[in-house]
Amino acid sequence: MDSYQIAKNTERVKAIARSLDFMYCGVSKADFLEEEAPRLTEWLKKGNHGKMHYMENHFDKRLDPRKLVPGARSVVSLLYNYYTEDIQPDEAPKISRYAYGKDYHFVIKDKLKQFFTELQESIGDIEGRVFVDSAPVMDKAWAKRSGLGWVGKNTNLIHPKEGSFFFIAELIIDLPLEPDGPIKDYCGTCTRCIDACPTDALESYEIDAKKCISYMTIELKDEILPKEAEGQMENWMFGCDICQEVCPWNRFAKQHQEPAFEPHPSLKSMDERDWKELTREVFNEIFRKSPVKRTKYSGLMRNIRHLNS
């Protein structure tokens, strides 16, 4: 394929991304993640993944998309906004903003399927797969490679015009495209995220998941939360946004325009007492299609009891 056709196909990919309301679209060559390999090895060796044992699986596929999608030539990275200022009452136990509405896996997966279909219709026979936080894909590494931001000291991808309140998704395809180059790191000397983390989960550019409030309230399935977390949860019952809320780059975050991410009306009215007395029926109603279902009723009540212990 000549350079003119590759450029034309790349523009078509980005045009489809815009039409489907993705914030940004970047392209990387599907290749081995040489820089990330030793970092991932060391992070796992330290046990920083806690009980997320699945992080130890498919090591080769995490680092080389061609092992995940045979014949892959390009990784198309996409950002989708979820930021909202329509938050819960101050006194209520808190849920991370990304989980206010319908589960992003369903919302974005549908868009990705449409993306892939439109790409095939306009360019021809293309093989590949779509991903949104659902396979051994190092999404932040690929988004960084494609110029969609840098990975900050809080280990989140940060875009210089949007902050970090967005989901990352990928198409890994066998179509050659023009790669975008990475941008520089603009964290500078700022350490607000590290200083603000109540459980000291963050070091510069590294996270110890075992200490992370998001890990403890979502990933950890133990009947009780670690004793070290007592008095340090800052009223978070599902996830945590602290390291994003204090990040200066998030002053650029804009309200999302996705109806599916609108919060259930009860989220904006329930106070501390309502959450303590939450029944399984009410849980199922509020979180019927929400990411919060991942922690189940028993897990959410465990978290709420911990906040009041």
The pLDDT value recorded for residue 228 is: 81
| Torsion angle, alpha carbons of 87, 91, 92, 97, to 10 | 30
Mean pLDDT (the chain, rounded)? 95
Largest CA distance in the chain: 65
Is the pLDDT confidence value at 165 over 70? yes
Distance of alpha carbon 108 from its chain centroid, rounded? Answer: 12
Is the pLDDT confidence value at 31 over 80? yes
Is the pLDDT confidence value at 97 over 80? yes
Is the pLDDT confidence value at 21 over 70? yes
Over its C-alpha atoms, the chain yields an Rg (Å, rounded) of 20
- Contact between 151 and 41 under an 8 Å Cβ cutoff? The reply is no
Domain 3-87+97-173 bears CATH identifier 3.40.390: no
Give the global pTM. Answer: 0.95
The catalytic residue among 133, 174, 185, 274 is: 133
User: What separation in angstroms does the CA of 167 have from each of 5, 139, 182?
Assistant: 30, 10, 18
For residue 169, the SS3 value is strand
Helix intervals (H) in the chain:
3-19, 36-45, 59-63, 65-68, 104-123, 139-145, 192-196, 213-214, 242-245, 272-276, 280-286, 296-307
Residue ranges covered by each domain of the chain: 3-87+97-173
Distance of alpha carbon 224 from its chain centroid, rounded? Answer: 26
pLDDT bucket at 130, cuts 50 / 70 / 90 = very high
Residue type (1 letter), 268 = K
Lowest-confidence range among 9-13, 216-220, 264-268?
264-268
User: What separation in angstroms does the CA of 178 have from each of 77, 113, 264, 292?
Assistant: 13, 22, 41, 38
Is the pLDDT confidence value at 229 over 80? yes
pLDDT bucket at 5, cuts 50 / 70 / 90 = very high
pLDDT bucket at 58, cuts 50 / 70 / 90 = confident
In 3D space, the residue among 77, 67, 37 whose CA is nearest the CA of residue 179 turns out to be 77
Q: Which residues contact 204 (CB under 8 A, 6 or more apart)?
A: 153, 191, 194
The pLDDT value recorded for residue 309 is: 64
| DSSP secondary structure code for residue 136 in this structure | S
> Among this protein's residues, is 133 annotated catalytic?
yes
Q: Rounded mean pLDDT of 71-92?
A: 94
Strands 150-151 and 157-158: antiparallel
User: What separation in angstroms does the CA of 169 have from each of 93, 137, 161?
Assistant: 29, 10, 19
Bridge partners, residue 173, by sequence: 74, 128
